[in-house]
Amino acid sequence: MAFNLRFFLAAVVLLAGVAPALSQRDCILDRCADQKPSPARTSAVAPANFDFYVLALSWSPSYCEAHGGGGEQCAPGADRGFVLHGLWPQYERGFPQNCGFGAAPSRPALDRARGVYPEEGLARYEWRKHGACTGLSPGDYFDAAARAKALVAAPQRLNALSRDATLGGNEIERAFLEANPRLRPGMLSVVCDGGALQEVRVCLTKDLREFRACPELSRRSCRARAIRVPAPR
């Protein structure tokens, strides 16, 4: 009986020493998957583990001006205004990217991206950087991007600019609010770079049915009073 008691006590001590290691291993396999990486860091998080989407609409004239033209998006006479930059899974704070899940887009999947993105190369890039973190297949991700794009109306008075304009960040935001009655302040962000309009980012629910608040993005919205908005060419 004494021997058995000593054996029992030794086993308790042994398990107590192993418990922290087991807890750490559980974190690696499960709980750490819930931790949210800081922005611009490669994610080891399982796909589909995010809070909402951001639809990024790039102002094409600024992009073409900054990159010296070239490519289908910037072809002479393309006359593009807002174009789809990407559909990005987002956390309340930070975002996943470069998750490394899923296969490269097939030709049939890329056919579903035609007309959604301004160029096929951008569709490929967006799948690799953001789409693989959503848990969707490439084709379904491109379909989701199309649905999100259709949900947001780009202001016609901006897309129809006949000459370069200078607008305040609040004016650009207000134009989107007017074009989208269900959109509210705090649900979008204006991005400017080098004094020019770069893009507008709109926050959407994970089911892509509604707009939703995104305080972290909204706080970073460009509030400059004079943002150059080059006209479509």
**Quick check: is 126 catalytic?**
yes
Q: Give the pLDDT confidence score for residue 77 in this predicted structure.
A: 75
Among the options 120, 126, 173, 178, which is catalytic? 126
Q: Do 11 and 122 sit in the same domain of this protein?
A: no
Report the CATH number at residue 190.
Answer: 3.90.730.10
Asked if residues 61 and 232 have their Cβ atoms less than 8 Å apart, the reply is yes
Q: Do 155 and 219 sit in the same domain of this protein?
A: yes
Q: Do 217 and 104 sit in the same domain of this protein?
A: yes
Asked if residues 60 and 83 have their Cβ atoms less than 8 Å apart, the reply is yes
Q: Do 168 and 134 sit in the same domain of this protein?
A: yes
Q: Do 82 and 147 sit in the same domain of this protein?
A: yes
Q: Do 126 and 89 sit in the same domain of this protein?
A: yes
pTM to 2 decimals? Answer: 0.79
Q: Give the pLDDT confidence score for residue 13 in this predicted structure.
A: 35
Among the options 67, 120, 130, 210, which is catalytic? 130
Among the options 85, 119, 120, 216, which is catalytic? 85
| 46 within domain boundaries | no
| 173 within domain boundaries | yes
Q: How many domains does the chain have?
A: 2
d(CA 151, CA 175): 16
* Domain that residue 28 falls in: 2-34
| 206 within domain boundaries | yes
| 45 within domain boundaries | no
**Quick check: is 130 catalytic?**
yes
Q: Do 104 and 187 sit in the same domain of this protein?
A: yes
Q: Do 118 and 19 sit in the same domain of this protein?
A: no
Q: Do 17 and 76 sit in the same domain of this protein?
A: no
Q: Do 116 and 211 sit in the same domain of this protein?
A: yes
Q: Give the pLDDT confidence score for residue 48 in this predicted structure.
A: 76
Q: Do 116 and 142 sit in the same domain of this protein?
A: yes
| 40 within domain boundaries | no
Q: Do 115 and 26 sit in the same domain of this protein?
A: no
Write out the chain's pLDDT in tens, 233 residues: 444 434 433 443 333 333 333 222 222 222 223 333 335 444 445 677 899 999 999 999 999 999 877 678 888 877 799 999 999 999 999 999 999 877 899 999 999 999 999 999 999 999 999 999 999 999 999 999 999 999 999 999 999 999 999 999 999 999 999 999 999 999 999 999 999 999 999 999 999 999 999 999 999 999 999 999 999 98
| 47 within domain boundaries | no
